[in-house]
Amino acid sequence: MTYAGDRVLYDADTHIMELPDFLKKFADPDVRDLLPEVDYGRSLVTDEEVAIIVGNGSQHSDEHKESLIALGDRMIQEVKEIQALGAFDKHDRVIANDMLGFKKQLVFPTHSLHMPFSPSSKIPDKVRYGGARAHNRHMADFCSIDDRLMGVAAIPLENPALALEEVQWSIDNGLQAMWVPHRLAGDRSPTHVDFNPIWSLLQEAQIPVVFHVGGNPLQLKPEWSNTGRGVTKDWMGGGENVRARDAAVLHQGIETFISMMVLDGVLEDFPDLKFASVELGAGWVPEMLVRLDHVHKAYSRVDDRLRGFKRTPSEQIRQQFGFTPFVFEDVSRLIDQSNDDLYLFSSDYPHTEGGRDPIARFESCMKDVPQASVDKFNSGNFLRVFPRARVTADK
């Protein structure tokens, strides 16, 4: 019995736990020495854990792997982060996939994109896009071994021409989603017409744009912590990661990005382009739909662009977007407040944030939801947003 059991589940959020040389190993020679090693300093993973794995030939010990396999369908509940099966080794990931039982898994990195996705204007294009290419090569290699793995490419938007080149390379090399940071693209809005060739290419290729936590700085500006009350702790007990005040406004960056994409007409101009917002929660989505429809109605009187929309903002988002709720969010409530077309199952494997038993957590709040809506959450909405997934899944 797999963890998924007899359910048909498509997982919109899984991860690689990169080893220190993740970027350098696949980088072009002229940028290799300019790229940083992957740093676990702000995570639950310790330097000692990483050193042991690297010292063992970048492998878990045979004993450790055997102990994970022995867990069977409890593996996702018992072992997380870099100690999980297939966290960094593609051959082990095949075994983990067999045990998890998901039809498809969208695969994101964990810590390797701090530099390529940094908003700093001081990073040269050569280094930023060299780091993105190294990531994308490694992701393509990791996912090439198993067609259940859908690799996510990293696409910084600071340079539209280089971003378009990276999108084309990523499509040509089998990556199946394009992650762009949900923030300003240097001195441009991401809705700038310079990015239209990217949206056009992705629409034609049926490759979605995805957003993920980490695509915008996680923490508020330091001045918000200057309260005269001392330093607060993050969710892991330290002070370097997401704190309570950060978590409370984590959705604001992605909500701003989506709102601008709608109001500036990107979704209207590219109606077949699909998007997914991943690990950014979904509790804010129903009210965003209401707000955007109100804005559209009110400002259509004076804004020619809005007046020309053939679909309301909520219709655009319902037809083109998917959102992954956090494991603690009530999916039933979200559906009641919006509709059942919007939400996607995710496990966050092997991250701790996904919870010990995400299937049980989500099902516990969907007991009174019609089976058709549950099926949409588990698989149907994923296949709408990621239509190419159906081709290999049906083989």
**pLDDT for 362-382, tens place per residue?**
999 999 999 999 999 999 999
Closest CA to 278 of 11, 90, 64: 11
CA 278 to chain centre: 4
CA distances to 150, 221, 225, 241 from 232, rounded to whole Å, are 38, 14, 8, 11
DSSP secondary structure code for residue 178 in this structure: E
The answer to whether the beta carbons of residues 246 and 220 sit under 8 Å apart is: yes
Helix (H, G, I), strand (E, B) or coil at 278: strand
The two structure tokens encoding residue 126? 């050569």
Rounded mean pLDDT of 332-345?
98
| Distance in angstroms (rounded) separating the CA atoms of residues 201 and 224 | 40
Q: Which residue has the higher pLDDT, 226 or 163?
A: 163
DSSP secondary structure code for residue 225 in this structure: G
The two structure tokens encoding residue 308? 């020309």
Per-residue pLDDT reduced to its tens digit, 241-288: 677 888 888 899 999 999 999 999 999 999 999 999 999 999 999 999
The answer to whether the beta carbons of residues 131 and 27 sit under 8 Å apart is: yes
Quick check: 320 pLDDT over 60?
yes
| Distance in angstroms (rounded) separating the CA atoms of residues 160 and 163 | 5
The answer to whether the beta carbons of residues 9 and 101 sit under 8 Å apart is: yes
Q: Which residue has the higher pLDDT, 204 or 249?
A: 204
Average per-residue pLDDT for the chain: 94
Rounded mean pLDDT of 302-330?
97
| Distance in angstroms (rounded) separating the CA atoms of residues 65 and 210 | 32
Quick check: 239 pLDDT over 50?
no
Closest CA to 242 of 285, 286, 280: 280
Quick check: 3 pLDDT over 60?
yes
Helix (H, G, I), strand (E, B) or coil at 188: strand
H or E, element range at 22: none
Q: What ranges do the domains of the chain cover?
A: 10-228+243-393
Overall fold of domain 10-228+243-393? TIM Barrel (3.20.20)
- Give the pTM: 0.95
Model confidence at 187, pLDDT cuts 50, 70, 90, reads very high
Per-residue pLDDT reduced to its tens digit, 161-171: 999 999 999 99
Rounded mean pLDDT of 48-58?
95
| Distance in angstroms (rounded) separating the CA atoms of residues 116 and 266 | 24
Quick check: 89 pLDDT over 90?
yes
Place of tokens 């049926």: 206
ω into residue 350 within 30 of 0, thus cis?
Answer: yes
Helix (H, G, I), strand (E, B) or coil at 39: coil
| Distance in angstroms (rounded) separating the CA atoms of residues 158 and 198 | 13
Rounded mean pLDDT of 186-211?
98
- Identify the weakest region by mean pLDDT among 37-41, 93-97, 244-248, 287-291: 244-248
Phi/psi at 81 (5° precision):
60, -140
The answer to whether the beta carbons of residues 280 and 254 sit under 8 Å apart is: yes
> Residue 108 corresponds to which amino acid?
F
Helix (H, G, I), strand (E, B) or coil at 28: coil
